[in-house]
């Protein structure tokens, strides 16, 4: 068995997780992003962890990449009727999970224990770990002031230019024992093709977790979420530009340069390989666009083959 640890956000992270999860001979632990978490209607919602769980459990809505397949929205309609803000789309089956999580939190369970129970119950084979059991929340400064991540991402649909990012609570956050153990036992660590600034950075910003990654014996690789200078989906390219970074695979390599040993970039970005290697990093070129399951498995297998 080869122990793979994947650091992952939501949609891009879940696709890469499905790739490693589906390979024989791989024991996968995914450390997911909790900095998008927020309270809605009094319930604790953890969008990236749920996207990972639903994807690995085969419950995901494949068309949109998040949420539960075959979903209805009758509870949300009632909340709207009663005057609550309903810009965050939460389906009925999804609500069931948020009710469970909120109730378990009120009973004193940790967020990581809840995530593990949900994953196990839904039939997820891989381990879904949290970077911390503390609350860390990304905040986004735009011209109008500071927004929560979901206000920026869902309510404002990423339209305002990002002026500053903050991972509130991260300095004091303690890593979970399970995340530290997985990192120490890893044969191979991969940063998924997720948004570097709001999916991967909040995980890396947990101080002792960052130190554990630096101390790990396993090589750390990253897959670029930018292909030919563009995102597959989401605001990562615009965010990177707005914050003064290059919005391409080289910019991702520069951003990760203190953490990562090796970059995986798309075939379309072959021309950037030399500059990435000039940073002192290894570089592997593979097809990285994952639409079908076969592409997810092929990318994961390709990465492991190159790493060995
Ligand atoms: P979110 O939390 O749902 O926003 O998802 P992530 O942060 O995990 O992933 C968003 C990033 O994934 C975006 O920057 C996309 O460009 C990237 N992404 C999505 N699908 C793919 C893919 O098939 N291949 C690659 N290389 N990147 C992808
Ligand atoms: Ca996310």
* Confidence tier at 196 by pLDDT (50, 70, 90): very high
Cβ–Cβ contacts within 10 Å for residue 115, how many? 26
Q: Is the CB of 19 inside a 6 Å radius of any atom of ligand 1?
A: no
| Average pLDDT, integer, range 10-20 | 98
The whole-angstrom distance between residue 210's C-alpha and the CA centroid of its chain comes to 16
Q: Per-residue pLDDT for 203 more than 90?
A: yes
**Ligand 2 centroid – CA 101 distance (Å):** 18
Q: Which residues have a Cβ under 8 Å from the Cβ of 221 and sit 6 or more positions away?
A: 188, 189, 190, 191, 260, 261, 262, 263, 264, 284, 303, 307
For the chain, give every domain's residue range: 2-142+167-307
Cα 49 from Cα 105, distance rounded (Å): 16
* Confidence tier at 308 by pLDDT (50, 70, 90): confident
Q: For ligand 1, what atom is nearest to the CA of residue 8? A: 8
Q: Which residues have a Cβ under 8 Å from the Cβ of 155 and sit 6 or more positions away?
A: 87, 88, 147
| Average pLDDT, integer, range 92-97 | 98
State the burial class of residue 278 (Cβ atoms within 10 Å of its Cβ: 0-12, 13-18, 19+).
exposed
Share of the chain above pLDDT 70, in %: 100
| Average pLDDT, integer, range 22-32 | 98
**Ligand 1 centroid – CA 249 distance (Å):** 13
Structure tokens that stand for 82 in this block:
């009663």
Beta bridge partners, 283, equal 263
Cα 116 from Cα 107, distance rounded (Å): 16
Q: For ligand 1, what atom is nearest to the CA of residue 230? A: 16
pLDDT digit string, tens, across residues 33-66: 999 999 999 999 999 999 999 999 999 999 999 9
**Ligand 2 centroid – CA 104 distance (Å):** 23
Helices (H) and strands (E) in the chain, counts: 13, 14
* Confidence tier at 168 by pLDDT (50, 70, 90): very high
DSSP-assigned states of every residue in 57-98: TT-B-TTTSSSBTT---HHHHHHHHTT----S---HHHHHHH
| Average pLDDT, integer, range 189-199 | 98
| Average pLDDT, integer, range 208-224 | 98
Q: What are phi and psi of 274, to 5 degrees?
A: -65, -45
Q: Is the CB of 235 inside a 6 Å radius of any atom of ligand 1?
A: no
Place of tokens 């978490």: 37
Alpha helices in the chain (DSSP H): 11-21, 47-56, 74-81, 92-106, 111-121, 149-150, 177-185, 201-204, 207-215, 236-242, 249-255, 273-278, 293-307
What is the CATH superfamily name and number for domain 2-142+167-307?
CofD-like domains (3.40.50.10680)
From 31, 200, 233, mutation site for ligand 1 pocket: most ligand atoms within 8 A of C-beta: 233
Interior CA angle at 166 toward 168 and 37, to 5°? 55
């Amino acid at each position: 068995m080869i122990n793979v640890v994947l650091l992952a956000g939501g949609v891009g992270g879940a696709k890469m997780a499905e790739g490693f999860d589906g390979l024989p001979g791989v024991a996968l632990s995914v450390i997911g992003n909790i900095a998008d978490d927020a309270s809605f209607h009094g319930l604790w919602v953890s969008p990236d962890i749920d996207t990972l769980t639903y994807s690995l459990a085969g419950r995901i809505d494949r068309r949109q990449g998040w949420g539960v397949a075959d979903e209805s929205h009758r509870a949300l309609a009632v909340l709207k009727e009663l005057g609550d803000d309903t810009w965050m789309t939460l389906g009925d089956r999804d609500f069931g999970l948020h009710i469970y999580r909120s109730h378990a939190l009120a009973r004193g369970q940790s967020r990581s224990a809840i995530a593990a129970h949900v994953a196990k119950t839904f039939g997820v084979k891989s381990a879904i770990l949290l970077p911390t059991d503390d609350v860390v929340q990304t905040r986004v400064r735009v011209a109008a002031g500071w927004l929560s991540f979901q206000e920026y991402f869902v309510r404002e649909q990423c339209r305002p230019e990002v002026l500053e990012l903050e991972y509130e609570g991260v300095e004091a956050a303690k890593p979970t024992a399970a995340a530290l153990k997985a990192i120490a036992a890893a044969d191979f660590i991969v940063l998924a093709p997720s948004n570097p600034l709001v999916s991967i950075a909040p995980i890396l910003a947990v101080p002792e977790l960052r130190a554990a990654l630096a101390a790990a014996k396993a090589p750390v690789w990253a897959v670029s979420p930018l292909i030919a200078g563009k995102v597959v989906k989401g605001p990562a390219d615009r965010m990177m530009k707005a914050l003064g970074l290059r919005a391409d695979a080289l910019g991702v390599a520069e951003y990760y340069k203190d953490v990562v040993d090796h970059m995986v970039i798309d075939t379309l970005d072959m021309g950037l390989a030399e500059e990435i290697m000039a940073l002192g990093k290894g570089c592997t070129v593979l097809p990285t666009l994952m639409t079908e399951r076969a592409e997810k498995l092929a990318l994961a297998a390709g990465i492991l083959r190159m790493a060995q």
